[in-house]
Structure 1
Amino acid sequence: MDTKTRFGLRLKAIRKEKKLTQEELATRIGRSVDAVSNIERGRSLPNFVTVEQLSQALNVPLKTLFDFDEAPISRRRAQLVEELQSITRELSDDTLELAVEQIRVLARKRTSAG
């Protein structure tokens, strides 16, 4: 998966985590909804000024926008991983610990069945 696609998926996950619509984000950065949509779909890669504006509008460090796995994975898997990361950021430590244990059980069942 190319950088544009990965960046777009990451941006979308962060935007959703912040409970913003594309319209709200577009307004915050002074760009069109189409521009935000094209970035999120990996059709265009923003310039550095826009990346800085996205970072400020989403209230995240610049590096967070580029915090995606470098291993080649499918688009669907990338979306699922981003969604999982987004969900887990909202969990308390105790609930997150429980979620990790559940995922470990699923992983063990998958490995033993494989």
Structure 2
Amino acid sequence: MDTKTRLGLRLKAIRKEKKLTQDELAARMGRSVDALSNLERGRSLPNFTTIELLCQALDIPLKSLFDFEETTLPRRKAQLLEEFQSIARGLSDADLELAIEQIRALSRRGK
């Protein structure tokens, strides 16, 4: 998966975690919804000004926007994993432990 796609998946996951629509995030940034949509779909890469606006609008450090790993997973699975990681970061330790137990149970069921 290329950098544009990975960045787009990460951006979309963070936006959803923050419970923002594309319209809301675009308005916070002073950019068009089309421009944001192109970023999320991996059709374009942001310039440095846009990266700064994204981080400010999402209230995140720069590092977290690029916190993705190399992957050869299919796009949908990569998208789901990115969303899961984004949600998991916001959980308390106790809730994260519960989520892991549930995932382990699902994993055993699939074998």
TM-score (norm 2): 0.90
The normalised TM-score by structure 1 is 0.88
State the aligned residue count: 111
Matched, 1:6 2:6: yes
Equivalent residue, structure 2, for 1:85: 85
Question: Which residue number corresponds to residue 96 of structure 1?
Answer: 96
- Where do 5+ consecutive residues of structure 1 fail to align? none
Q: Structure 2 stretches of 5 or more lacking a match? A: none
Q: What's the CA shift string for 1:72-113, capped at 9, x where partnerless?
A: 221111111012123323433212102112223333454xx3
Select between 30-39 and 77-86 the one with higher mean Cα deviation: 77-86
What are the superposed Cα offsets for residues 25-63 of structure 1, whole Å, 9 maximum, x if unpaired? 111111100000000000111101100110111000001
Q: For 1:91 and 1:62, how far apart are their aligned partners in 2?
A: 21
Greater CA radius of gyration, 1 or 2?
Answer: 1
Q: What CA RMSD, in Å, does the superposition of the two structures yield over aligned residues?
A: 1.5
Structure 1 residues 1-114: aligned runs within 5 Å = 1-110=1-110, 113=111
Q: Partners in 2 of 1:49 and 1:12 — Cα distance?
A: 18
| Identity rate, percent | 72
